[in-house]
Amino acid sequence: MKRTYFGTDGVRGPYGGPVINEQFAARLGEAAAHFAMARAGRPGNPARVLIGRDTRGSGWRLEQAVAAGLAAGGLSPAALGIVPTPAVAAAVLRERAILGVMITASHNPAGDNGIKFFDHQGLKFNDAGEAEIESLLPGEARGRELAAGIDSAAATHAGPLPRIDGLAAYLETTRSLLPPGALAGWRVALDTANGSTCATSPMVLRGFGATVDALGAEPDGKNINAGVGSEHPGKLAARVRETGAQIGIAHDGDGDRCILCDEHGAVLDGDEILTLLALHALNRRSLAADTLVVTVQSNLGVDAAVRAAGGRVERSAVGDRYVIEKMLATGATLGGESSGHVIFSDISRTGDGLVAALKVLEVMLETGRPLSELRKGLKKFPQATSSLRVREKLPLDALPPLSGEIAALERELGAEGRVLVRYSGTETKLRLLVEGPTAAAVKSGLARLDTAARQALEVV
C-alpha cells in the first residue's frame, strides 16, 4: 500500500502548510489511535499515549492537536514536554504506554515540523503500518472539528493534558553507561542545536565529571538548527580548538543524531563513528553476530574495514527505522547511518545522539587513545555527494536522461565504485552520491549526474 504523507521518518513539512497543521495533526492522531488500539487487541479500551516535542514554537499547538485526535480515538494522551526523541521511546516502555508520539522535524529548519510515532515496544511503525494509518485518516471536516478548541487553550498556553516526567527513564539509562566520575578532568565541547538536548546532554556529561563548553544551548522557538547542531559542525570544531577539548559532540534538533569532532577539531561523521565502535567491539569479541548494520548511503570503506577485522556489514534502506528492522532480522545490536544516527538496540531501538557519544567516550577511556587515532580504522573510498531541491518528486525510472546517466556511470565504475540517486524521505530534495577509485572520477561522475538531473527535473 502506497504512503502519501509518511516519509523515511514520520510526517514532516513546513508548519502551516497542507500537511503540518493543527487540523491534519488531529486527523492523524485519531487515525493512529484507531490503528494502535486495533493492534493491541483492545478496541475501545482507553490506554495511555505519551507525547514529546522539540523546541520549535509550533510544537505546543501541534501537541494539543494530535492529542485531541488521540483522545477522540479512545486513547488517554499525556505530555512529556520538551524531550529528545529517544526519551519518548524510553518513556513508552517504562510507562507501558500503547503509543508514543514525537513532535519534531529533526534536523530541518525551525519553520518545519513533523510527527513521529512509536509503538508499545519503542519501535517506529513500519511502512505497512504507516500506510494503514493513512487509510484510517478521517475527512478534513473532522480535522477542523477536533482542532477547534486549540485557539482558546493557546490563549492561556495551558492545555488540558496531564504531564508525565519524560526524562526519568532516559536519564536512568544514560547515567548508567559510564562509571561515576569517569570524565573527571575531561573537557567536552557540546552543541545541542538549540533543541531537545539542551538540558539532558550537558546534565549527563557533567554528572560524569566533565567540564562542558556548551553552544547551541539557548532555544527561543525559532533558532533550532540555525547554524548550529549536527548539520553545521563548524562552530563546534572551532570551539574544540579554542578550548582544548578532548572531544566535540553535536546533536540535531531532536537529539537522535551524533556528529563528533576529534581533539584537533576534525569532524567525524556517522560512518566513522560506527566503524570505530564496530572495530572496538570486534577486537573484544563483543559485536553481536559480528555484524554492523549501515544504510545504502554509507561509504564502501566501512565494509572493507569491518571485513578486515573479521566482521560483516549488512545494508538497509535509508532511515533509522529500516536500520533497526535489519538489526532485528540479523541479530546485530549496532547499526546506524552516515548522517549520525547510531543505534545500540540493547539500549534503545532508535537513534540516540547522547548514547552514541557516551559509547565513543567509553572506547576512548578503555583504550587510552585519542579520537584522532581511533578514527584511522576507516579508510573512506573517494565520495562526492550533492542535493538538489526539486519542484516535484517524479519517478526516477521515468526520467530517461537521468536513468541513462546512472546506468552509464555504473558500467564505468563496475566493482570499484557505486552510484546512488534517491529522493530524500523528509524533504523535497534529490540526493546524488558517487563513489569510485579516485577523487577525479567521482567529481566527474557527480557533475554528470547533476547535469542529467537538471535536465530531467525542475530544480528550485
Q: Which residues are annotated as a binding site for Mg(2+)?
A: 106, 252, 254, 256
Whether the Cβ atoms of residue 138 and residue 30 lie closer than 8 Å to each other: yes
Which residues are known binding-site members? 106, 252, 254, 256
Give the long-range contacts of residues 35-40, CB within 8 A, separation 24 or more: 35/129, 35/132, 35/133, 35/136, 36/75, 36/98, 36/99, 36/119, 36/120, 37/73, 37/74, 37/75, 37/98, 39/119, 39/129, 40/98, 40/120
Residues 256, 257, 263, 264: what is their CA dihedral angle, to the nearest 10 degrees? Answer: -160
Neighbours of 285 (CB within 10 A): 8
Q: Which of 58, 76, 106, 403 is catalytic?
A: 106
Query: Rounded distance, CA 357 to CA 338, Å?
Result: 15
Supply 438's cell numbers: 579516485
> Is 106 an active-site residue?
yes
Supply 327's cell numbers: 538489526
Instruction: Show which residues are catalytic.
Output: 106
